Amino acid sequence: MSEIVNVHEAKTHFSRLLERAHQGEEIIVAKAGKPYARLMPLGETPPARRPGGLSGRVDDAFLEPLPDAELDAWGQG
């Protein structure tokens, strides 16, 4: 269950709230009694992306305009 704290309390105890969020808690920050933001732990950092991981190539035809029938199908004609 999430704990709700007001903005003043969040500013005063921000380091503590961050540590609690890091430990797995979800904390809702409220402004004027209404939920405004959420502090929550980040998941595992995904591995770095490397370009060129897929096979195949894009040739010059990729940059040519689409035919009118294709544009009409997408509602862009």
Give the pLDDT of the chain (77 residues) as one tens digit per residue.
Answer: 689 999 999 999 999 999 999 999 999 999 999 999 999 988 877 788 888 888 888 899 889 998 999 999 988 75
* Alpha-carbon separation of residue 62 from 55, 57, 74 (angstroms): 16, 10, 17
**45 lies in some domain:** no
Q: What CATH number does the domain containing 22 carry? A: 3.40.1620
Name the amino acid, one letter, at 38.
R
Domain contains 26: yes
| Number of domains within the chain | 1
The H or E element spanning position 35 is strand 34-39
Q: Which residue has the tokens 């797995």?
A: 24
Residue range(s) defining the domain that contains residue 19: 3-39
Contact 25, 3 (CB under 8 A): yes
